[in-house]
Amino acid sequence: MRESSLPDLGVGLIGTGFMGRAHALAFHSARTVFDLPVNLRLVALADADAARAEQCARSWGFDRSHAAWQALIDDPAVDLVAITTPNHLHYPMAMAALEAGKAVYCEKPLAVNLAQAREMHSTAKKVGVVTRVGYNYQHNPILGLARQMIQAGELGRIVSFQGEFSEDFMGDPHASWSWRCEHTHAGGALADLGSHLLAMARYLVGDVDSVCADSQTVHPERPALHGSPERRQIAIDDQTYALLRFSNGARGTFSSSWLKHGYKNHLSFEVSGTGGTLSFDQERLNELRYYRADAPGRDGFQRILAGPAQPGYAAFCPAPGHQLGYNELKTLEVHALIQAICGGGNEGPDFAEALEVERLAAAIRVAAREMRWVNVADI
Amino acid sequence: MRESSLPDLGVGLIGTGFMGRAHALAFHSARTVFDLPVNLRLVALADADAARAEQCARSWGFDRSHAAWQALIDDPAVDLVAITTPNHLHYPMAMAALEAGKAVYCEKPLAVNLAQAREMHSTAKKVGVVTRVGYNYQHNPILGLARQMIQAGELGRIVSFQGEFSEDFMGDPHASWSWRCEHTHAGGALADLGSHLLAMARYLVGDVDSVCADSQTVHPERPALHGSPERRQIAIDDQTYALLRFSNGARGTFSSSWLKHGYKNHLSFEVSGTGGTLSFDQERLNELRYYRADAPGRDGFQRILAGPAQPGYAAFCPAPGHQLGYNELKTLEVHALIQAICGGGNEGPDFAEALEVERLAAAIRVAAREMRWVNVADI
Amino acid sequence: MRESSLPDLGVGLIGTGFMGRAHALAFHSARTVFDLPVNLRLVALADADAARAEQCARSWGFDRSHAAWQALIDDPAVDLVAITTPNHLHYPMAMAALEAGKAVYCEKPLAVNLAQAREMHSTAKKVGVVTRVGYNYQHNPILGLARQMIQAGELGRIVSFQGEFSEDFMGDPHASWSWRCEHTHAGGALADLGSHLLAMARYLVGDVDSVCADSQTVHPERPALHGSPERRQIAIDDQTYALLRFSNGARGTFSSSWLKHGYKNHLSFEVSGTGGTLSFDQERLNELRYYRADAPGRDGFQRILAGPAQPGYAAFCPAPGHQLGYNELKTLEVHALIQAICGGGNEGPDFAEALEVERLAAAIRVAAREMRWVNVADI
Amino acid sequence: MRESSLPDLGVGLIGTGFMGRAHALAFHSARTVFDLPVNLRLVALADADAARAEQCARSWGFDRSHAAWQALIDDPAVDLVAITTPNHLHYPMAMAALEAGKAVYCEKPLAVNLAQAREMHSTAKKVGVVTRVGYNYQHNPILGLARQMIQAGELGRIVSFQGEFSEDFMGDPHASWSWRCEHTHAGGALADLGSHLLAMARYLVGDVDSVCADSQTVHPERPALHGSPERRQIAIDDQTYALLRFSNGARGTFSSSWLKHGYKNHLSFEVSGTGGTLSFDQERLNELRYYRADAPGRDGFQRILAGPAQPGYAAFCPAPGHQLGYNELKTLEVHALIQAICGGGNEGPDFAEALEVERLAAAIRVAAREMRWVNVADI
């Protein structure tokens, strides 16, 4: 590639699974779609399987590969470390990257427990680098519109938030145990799915003061492996429900399940205020439903389509109705990250915000376990 | 009208408001649509306004009118007393009718407090007459199908119930005070709307063991009259949310609001089990959404249309897609009542069931006030 | 029933099938729901089966029954003759009623051929009585709103009409022959279903100048009886498609099928103009979709719910979202008829309008047979 | 980039507009998402504006730029020429590329008249290179499923196709003239939008034998420039409707409009057969609606979500409900093209197929102009 007058920004990516590839795709697309203020270089890819690391590096356009993730972090050309490994590795990798003074882009959840999350946040704050956590759904341009509508008062004073994130990939009682079934890996419906919804609730409505909750393990044992007669005990939540009290006075409900049949990516919510109601379902990610109480014309819920009036959408499609896909939300996340690194924006959740999401999830966990209302600030 | 070989069943109706007329319409339609085992006679109509009583009696085809409701109850040709007056009158009227040994068809809520409800139930039990309470939405044939599907195991073991009944008729902060804003008239979102949803939850999933809840008065004062400068304090809930634990192990959420903009009759729920998911919205009362986990064909939510395979529907329409309306649910309620009186069926909630609904609502009220989980059995 | 100061209007109903009962129900409901300017009396019911006539008369509240329809027409207490018999009987019955100087309420189609329809219209005109034909879908209050929006210019100048009426009751190749499969009984998808859509197109957009069309018999033979090995040849259309040119310059498409699987009552259309688009589907008869081009707020299709702002709806339900059903459209049709008889309105299609619908259907038939554009005025 | 053992495939892209960038994005993504059998190299980018060509080449990762498109074609490292310029340039560019023996990937429409299209096809056939035309909507994995369902007989014998492609970008009468308003640039609703629908009809149902049609210029003059008082006459169709007779016996309708308010990308269709019905709307590109006539379970239209069971989807997303976007259809188109070049597949329309689409559009144009049925074979 030719010389660029722009400063280099070197990316090091750890992990070559589905999410690793999604990151690679997003970095490539960001480079093509946006006029970046840097020369974004895909420097290094790390995977414990050296052969796979090298093969993916080649296919995905990275300059080199590492089998040891620490080597990637130490690579002087790497300015930004992207972490897409299993949850329990987020902490050591992010801490190492922070200690090396590098920007960190970590998949959610931030960590597998609150103590780790706190330490990651305080270290990031001390080091002063840019951090971002992969609550990618927030980067949906139409949710940017939703937030803007809320902040501009188009819904009036917010009165309620009702949110649900359900999928059904664990709906089959014969679905086997996996690391997602372990607390020590931040498994369970609440951590795996619900945390996205909590991040969304905070993004749209703000801080939650207190919660009451109920969690249940519906299938208390599952096959150890697919089709295996061996059974493993499951202690994690299959479904979690909560009541939420927001700091701004809004009230509402939270639902999270990974065994609700029929749902594949049902991150959904309704926000209602004294002036109107907005609703959204991630399974139709390019649409909002909006009802305006004092509509000057006809009365009724309206389907708003994502369109080029939203900058993030315009980067990809020239007209409404053309639709962004899941991966483009990731590209927008990468773009927000690069903007932040270059001092050009503050979009997207950093470690501080991700810690708040973890704290809120932890409060729900306590509330469910102890069957009582819990102040989030006490966690 | 000609002689009929069937025994007479004389109806006395108290109240000439919207619900009174809906009853009149339902009795007429029941007579036309169904082959009833009785000769249903519209004997008497009562309203405190004697002129209005007489005028409505004539228009609606009742034999005579009464200004005093006690006179209607005492009328020897009246076998069945239908009560459509404001909530606080349900108790004295129903008690008088029961004491006169007459069947009682009372609009919901059964009473304005639990003590009344208990007394009404025990009296009805002692007297041994047929009673029914107007939870009319239960008579929707497609919900009969839903219940049958649940009972036949088409959803597997039930895992969750998430229900919401929202409307927006109090959404305008300038909407004025009415009797619906008073606890002593069983007002508030929970009693007015939510009780329908609780009845539905019980109809479909069964007993609730315990609840936790949150209630809020969003607009703590309202104009005393429409457009009036005088303000009245409001103590009733504008929105109530709850967590539910069912006796069969299912968990879930309950939402009730009368100020959620955009919703007009949003009595809605999702019931999910180990084998599938059903959902419904009263705003499209002729449709169910159904997802079957082990569908033999293609995978995806299905729109089931009400149709003549459901007997209650066949009484009105010859083919799916033709649709029943709100009033026809009332006709079906009347039909179930007459069947019960004639010993031919046990459909529809009686005073015993309505008391259970009231008890559940009371438990939610305590849980919200005391911010704790409440066992319904302790109420 | 007590004496009424209002003049009597005596109804005679011919036919005791599904549609006969629907009429009986509608006459009853009209009496209860509306303040009629007459004392509506259900005088006589006719069916060739005398026992059935008498039984239905009793159940449905008619004073007497006749086995001979001519006797019903001759009954001096009958002022209005309602005809719900098979299509080929519409002509003789309506002609007899007209000759007796009585108002006629005839189910659609007006007749089984254009010559009959012309004679019925000219006779009605000469006699000067009120006539109505049962294009009941037009009496949907939300379609009254649609028409009013169109006429008020809310869509701007009308540019297109695209309509479809599909059902699937003949979708099974093994569905047996019936009278609906005969031209001489006005059978076929175009006559049976399509005529409703043509009436709707005229109701909303106005006269059609010219048409081109295509008709097909998909299953050219069917079992003579259900399950019978005997086969009958079918000459009637299973599906008919057309292009329409309206007098006001709008263009569009027409589709009619009775074997399009999945549709049960899919009388649907989109009307689009220079200012917006409206769409409707009879399978959700209480909803309109509306897009306003210069919407002052957010942009997007809106779901308008039927509500009490529409008088016909207010007669039945107190709030939007409660929904009318199929039979209530029939009650509204009866109401419009009675209003017309009493000089209080001109809603609903009379024989003149029904003749125009038949002419338009005939033009489509010619266009399909001769594979050419046809001017409707030439028919 | 490191040495690759795979053969190089050099891409030359002409055009830097929205579609040029979409191609660049698609080539990048294809490289990351798929294991390609070639080393795909982005060799050269051409734009008449040399500075823009160079700037875009740098941003989009092309090795070099050319101001002259012929130079790009002559570039020996270019194996594949992608053409994204205005329609009237497709012919000279594609012909030059074919004459240079290079594979051609041309945006739709193939050409601005049938003579050009014929010559392009015959040249491509003579030269024997791989060609593809950008009917990108066909590469939607869920439409691949639709086609497969049709071909496997899941709908039975196909009886009808009803298709519509409407947008509203010319809905405003004050929308100004552009090259899209000129026949000589293949403008108009039929050519611009309708051709996508015709390609889809052929993809799903096959050859069309004959057509009848109606075209209309709704706004016969428009501002020469946005906001300009100068007016230009418009001769192109704003809306075109047609009746279609397919070779397999199916019948149906075709609608195309660029002024139907509310629609942004409404490429939609219903295909119905003796065994079921499928429908689709590009505005929700990850969903099919399916009704199976002999469904073994419950009866009703089903929403099928795109998912990883479809290979093209699996390349991007791990689960249903995550959704592809518009640009990913383009990536899939590029993938199909590369597969074809490498001898590994035959997906996607080549010049021969694109010529058939043009012929069908031309038949519709003749049918509309001469107001008669036209055999497509006669064009």
A173 in contact with B, Cβ within 8 Å: yes
Give the 3-state secondary structure of B156-193: CCEEEEEEEEECCCCCCCCCCCCHHHCHHHCCCHHHHH
Q: Are residues D220 and D259 in the same domain?
A: yes
The pTM of the full predicted model, rounded to 2 decimals, is: 0.97
Domain that holds residue D36: 8-136
Report the C-alpha gap between D75 and D93 in whole angstroms. 14
Q: Cis peptide before D109, with omega less than 30 degrees from 0? A: yes
Tell me the pLDDT tens digit for each residue of C228-254.
Answer: 899 999 999 999 999 999 999 999 999
- Closest residue of B to C267, CA-based? B321
The pLDDT score that the predictor gives to residue C2 is 57
Q: Do A168 and D319 touch, CB atoms closer than 8 A?
A: no
Tracing tokens 């706004």 back to the chain, one arrives at D219
Q: Are residues B107 and B152 in the same domain?
A: no
The pLDDT score that the predictor gives to residue C226 is 87
> If we measure between CA atoms, which residue out of B83, B41, B32 comes closest to residue B61?
B41
Tell me the pLDDT tens digit for each residue of D13-66.
Answer: 999 999 999 999 999 999 999 999 999 999 999 999 999 999 999 989 999 999
B295 in contact with D, Cβ within 8 Å: yes
Tell me the pLDDT tens digit for each residue of B92-138.
Answer: 999 999 999 999 999 999 999 999 999 999 999 999 999 999 999 99
CATH number, domain of D280, equals 3.30.360.10
Q: Are residues A50 and A76 in the same domain?
A: yes
- Span B59-85, average pLDDT: 97
> Is residue B186 a part of any domain in this protein?
yes
Q: Are residues A225 and A247 in the same domain?
A: yes
Tell me the pLDDT tens digit for each residue of D212-264.
Answer: 999 999 999 999 998 889 999 999 999 999 999 999 999 999 999 999 999 99
Q: Are residues D241 and D361 in the same domain?
A: yes
> Is residue A337 a part of any domain in this protein?
no
> Is residue D282 a part of any domain in this protein?
yes
Tracing tokens 């030439």 back to the chain, one arrives at C378
Confidence of residue C3 (pLDDT cuts 50, 70, 90): low
Pairing of strands D251-257, D158-166: parallel
Q: Cis peptide before D318, with omega less than 30 degrees from 0? A: no
Residues 310-329 of A with CB under 8 A from D: 316-328
Confidence of residue D296 (pLDDT cuts 50, 70, 90): confident
The percentage of chain B sitting over the pLDDT mark of 70, rounded to a whole number, equals 99
Alpha helices in chain C (DSSP H): 18-33, 50-60, 69-74, 90-99, 114-127, 141-151, 189, 195-204, 311-314, 326-341, 351-370
The pLDDT score that the predictor gives to residue D2 is 57
Tell me the pLDDT tens digit for each residue of B172-201.
Answer: 999 999 999 999 999 999 999 999 999 999
Tell me the pLDDT tens digit for each residue of D117-156.
Answer: 999 999 999 999 999 999 999 999 999 999 999 999 999 9
> Is residue A279 a part of any domain in this protein?
yes
The pLDDT score that the predictor gives to residue D232 is 96
The pLDDT score that the predictor gives to residue A4 is 67
B169 in contact with C, Cβ within 8 Å: yes
The pLDDT score that the predictor gives to residue D227 is 82
Q: Are residues B143 and B276 in the same domain?
A: yes
Number of C to D CB contacts under 8 A, please give it.
Answer: 114
Residue B214 to residue A212, Cβ atoms within 8 A: yes
CATH number, domain of B17, equals 3.40.50.720
> Is residue A150 a part of any domain in this protein?
yes
Report the C-alpha gap between A39 and A35 in whole angstroms. 10
Q: Are residues C371 and C242 in the same domain?
A: yes
Q: Check whether D1 has a pLDDT greater than 50.
A: no
> If we measure between CA atoms, which residue out of D283, D282, D285, D277 comes closest to residue D301?
D277
Residue in C292, C299, C305 nearest the CB of A304: C299
- Closest residue of A to B173, CA-based? A274
Q: Are residues D72 and D214 in the same domain?
A: no
Q: Check whether A170 has a pLDDT greater than 90.
A: yes
Q: Check whether A1 has a pLDDT greater than 50.
A: no
User: Which pair of structure tokens corresponds to residue D252?
Assistant: 């149906």
Q: Check whether C72 has a pLDDT greater than 60.
A: yes
Q: Check whether C22 has a pLDDT greater than 90.
A: yes
Mean pLDDT of chain C: 96
Q: Where among D93, D118, D136 does a domain terminate? A: D136
- Range scoring the smallest mean pLDDT among C2-11, C138-147, D278-287: C2-11
Q: Are residues B313 and B166 in the same domain?
A: yes
Q: Where among C136, C170, C195 does a domain terminate? A: C136
Q: Where among A136, A159, A184 does a domain terminate? A: A136
- Range scoring the smallest mean pLDDT among A227-231, C375-379, D305-309, D330-334: A227-231
Q: Do D69 and D47 touch, CB atoms closer than 8 A?
A: no
Q: How many structural domains comprise chain B?
A: 2
Q: Are residues C148 and C131 in the same domain?
A: no
The residue of B18, B84, B142, B283 whose CB has the most chain C CBs within 10 angstroms, and thus the best one to mutate to test that interface, is B283
> Is residue D240 a part of any domain in this protein?
yes
Q: Are residues B309 and B169 in the same domain?
A: yes
Residue in D4, D58, D265 nearest the CB of A322: D265
Q: Check whether D170 has a pLDDT greater than 90.
A: yes
A212 in contact with B, Cβ within 8 Å: yes
> Is residue B235 a part of any domain in this protein?
yes
Tally of CB atoms within 10 A around C377: 11
The pLDDT score that the predictor gives to residue B4 is 67
Report the C-alpha gap between B203 and D87 in whole angstroms. 63
The answer to whether the complex's ipTM is over 0.85 is yes
Confidence of residue C227 (pLDDT cuts 50, 70, 90): confident
> Is residue C210 a part of any domain in this protein?
yes
Report the C-alpha gap between B291 and B304 in whole angstroms. 10
B76 in contact with D, Cβ within 8 Å: no
**Sheet strand arrangement including C131-133:** C64-66, C39-46, C8-14, C80-83, C103-106, C131-133
The percentage of chain D sitting over the pLDDT mark of 70, rounded to a whole number, equals 99
Tracing tokens 């009186």 back to the chain, one arrives at B341
- Detail the DSSP E strand segments found in C175-273: 208-216, 221-223, 231-233, 239-246, 251-257, 266-273
User: Which pair of structure tokens corresponds to residue D61?
Assistant: 């990762």
The residue of D164, D261, D375 whose CB has the most chain C CBs within 10 angstroms, and thus the best one to mutate to test that interface, is D261
- Gap from D163 CA to chain B (nearest CA, Å): 22
> If we measure between CA atoms, which residue out of A358, A355, A354, A351 comes closest to residue A130?
A351
The residue of A243, A369, A375 whose CB has the most chain B CBs within 10 angstroms, and thus the best one to mutate to test that interface, is A243
Q: Are residues C195 and C226 in the same domain?
A: yes
